[in-house]
Chains A and B, each alone.
Chain A
């Protein structure tokens, strides 16, 4: 089998936010790699470090207050060593990012068509007119109806769904090989969310790009992911293909999340829950961060943070009982 070099390689990434009062350990040793053309879902709850990891990949974290360690390589470049010019080429050129709230990603007093033209002009040295032509192509690509007219709209004149499509168009303007999507469908209405998900899936296939999709929603992951990485308290606690992770979870946190997500459970029964709340990132518990809430804790769990084990090909889990779990579910 020919080995294609990974597009993204993250090794032992840690991010700390340092203030006078406290140090917040937001990301605590995240490692993953992804092949070109793959869709990876980072699944986790608020504070799990999924968005911070995304921002670290693009070097969008405030440089003075954040301490980033580890290694990040995107398309062969060492992201943490890039200078300003290199970062400008990376952002928008090699990797582009879309966010939950497109209203804050656009300039509110500039027509959306002009904003896209500006990006194209900046990255490609094209003229403004050529940029506008590219913007029209892109609006057609993301299936915005009456594209020509919509180019002259201001962001507030577009509906939520169209605004999100326009942001996707802007992100794709310079044909990035990697798209970072940070909860791009979370703020959308149900009937619009599924439209944008299907669009992203089609575009990903047509353009052959890699996508890292951050979400807290298991259903969204089931719709879009090839592989899933489940994050908890700044660590990837489990990863594998979307079928493996959603059908036979190896980490008790993933299992708990699946069981407590309301999806057509019988109304006459109580929902199963994960007791307690996620840990305080200013003072993480020793050992496994999930141990205080875990139904399968044994005394060894609190000794040290569990190493990632590979109980099955292509699967990783940070749980000392993962092998046992796999045997039980098999």
Chain B
């Protein structure tokens, strides 16, 4: 028997508050495309290409990017729903999947996920309280106890358990179904929740309700979020730090306020400038960038954004920029030759 702890701390918290809850190094996943009579690999989709970042305990990391940037594949890699080709993933100091570290099953007890499509993530033939109780049941909790827990969780996400618990998914609205999915994700008392476009399918008036709910649950249950979305405004509101991805790579990562008020990477700037203005008297007259994001099957050489970048020079197609600390800002990294004094780009910032 151990003495009572001085602080009320999660017994699963191994490394203390200074240690990142999640640390990812050089994560990579290429999906092969097979073709021809022999079904040989003819090309590879560079879905996630050498991604590194960490998430501190209790923070919300927002991930933004357009389709094909790899944000959803990244979420699936973090849950090990997809096996990475290479790279390292450390959860609270323990390496995932290694003999001395934490097992994939152990990881999934502590990390849960909420998807965009609220309907297809629920069993249509099971009352929603059964869906919420399913995880705890599978992990050995008794039937009565797990249903009681499910009803408590439904209450916490704002659904009256007596009214909604026995209902089937088709009897609920989209917003209510997404609340059930959140309750289910919380049923195993995870430490981290990955929200992959979790509010994107909801109507605006309902989206705000669910966002407020996510924020209050985070405080109540001491959660850490990874919030993936294409909606830049929503990400700004909910995130402490933001990571911007383009074609499988991280182009910029830093504190949310800095990313939105002083973006460093030309892609981040273009993305932010592409938001509709909300003011009919200040409409955008010219698009910030032209063209579509290139196909991740054969991403451009060098900096992957150079084909659409207004500042592209020869060095940009020759060499890929490294993700480096930007000047004059703490904890704000960008992968752009403009911010590397040694890059040889004519507009590169020269270090003082």
Give chain A's interface residues, CB within 8 Å of chain B.
45-46, 145, 159-162, 189-195, 197-198, 201, 216-220, 222-223, 225, 242-243, 246, 256-257, 260-265, 267, 270-275, 277-278
Contact = CB atoms under 8 A, between A and B. Distances in A.
Nearest to A195: B287
A217 B232 CA distance: 14
B238 A267 contact: yes
Contacts of B274: 190-191, 193-194
A223 B208 contact: no
A195 B74 CA distance: 28
Interface stretch (B39-47, B289-297, B319-327, B338-346): B289-297
Contact of A278 (B203, B238, B295): B203
Given A191-B293, A219-B278, A261 B204 contact: yes
Given A190-B232, A264-B236, A45 B205 contact: yes
22 contacts: A159-B292, A161-B291, A162-B292, A189-B66, A190-B232, A191-B274, A192-B66, A194-B287, A195-B287, A201-B283, A218-B278, A219-B278, A220-B276, A222-B278, A242-B280, A260-B207, A262-B208, A262-B233, A262-B234, A267-B238, A271-B208, A278-B205
A242 B277 CA distance: 13
B277 A219 contact: yes
Given A267-B236, A270-B212, A271-B237, A277 B278 contact: no
A262 B271 CA distance: 17
Nearest to A270: B212
A223 B284 contact: yes
Given A45-B205, A264-B236, 7 more contacts: A159-B292, A192-B292, A219-B278, A225-B280, A242-B280, A271-B237, A277-B176
B275 interface: yes
A217 B237 CA distance: 18
Interface string B66-107: 110000000000000000000000000000000000000000
Given A191-B66, A191-B287, A219 B275 contact: yes
A191 B208 contact: no
Contacts of A162: 292
A161 B292 CA distance: 6
Given A45-B205, A263-B278, A267-B237, A198 B289 contact: no
A285 to B, nearest CB: 15
Given A189-B67, A260-B204, A262-B208, A160 B292 contact: yes
A246 B285 contact: no
User: Could you say which interface size class chain B belongs to?
Assistant: 35 or more
B308 to A, nearest CB: 8
Contacts of B276: 194, 197, 217, 219-220, 222-223
A189 B205 contact: no
B215 interface: yes
Contacts of A194: 274-276, 284, 287-288
10 closest residue pairs by CB, A with B: A219-B276, A189-B66, A260-B208, A45-B203, A159-B292, A274-B205, A271-B208, A195-B287, A161-B292, A273-B208
A261 B209 CA distance: 11
A198 B287 contact: yes
Contacts of B204: 45, 216, 218, 257, 260-261
B256 interface: yes
Given A46-B203, A262-B234, A267 B277 contact: no
A243 B280 contact: yes
B281 interface: yes
A33 B278 CA distance: 25
Contacts of A277: 173, 175-176, 206
Given A225-B280, A277-B175, A265 B205 contact: no
B291 A223 contact: no
A216 B275 CA distance: 15
Contacts of A271: 208, 211-212, 237
Contacts of B173: 277-278
A263 B285 contact: no
Given A194-B276, A219-B275, A260 B293 contact: no
Given A262-B233, A264-B236, A277-B176, A191 B271 contact: yes
A94 to B, nearest CB: 28
Contact of B285 (A159, A198, A262): A198
A189 B232 CA distance: 12
A211 B237 CA distance: 33
A162 B208 CA distance: 33
B265 to A, nearest CB: 13
Contacts of B280: 222-223, 225, 242-243, 246
B152 interface: no
A142 B295 CA distance: 22
Given A160-B67, A189-B293, A190-B271, A273 B212 contact: yes
The CB with the most chain A CB atoms within 10 A, among B215, B274, B289, is that of B274
Nearest to A47: B203
Contacts of B237: 262, 265, 267, 271
B117 interface: no
A271 B238 CA distance: 10
B230 interface: yes
A198 to B, nearest CB: 6
A197 B281 CA distance: 16
B286 interface: yes
B286 A191 contact: no
A273 B176 CA distance: 15
Nearest to A45: B203
Nearest to A193: B274
A190 to B, nearest CB: 5
A70 B325 CA distance: 64
A262 B174 CA distance: 19
B56 interface: no
Interface in B255-308: 256, 270-271, 274-281, 283-293, 295
A277 B210 CA distance: 12
Interface string B212-247: 100100000000000000111110111000000000
Interface string B177-219: 0000000000000000000000000011111110110010000
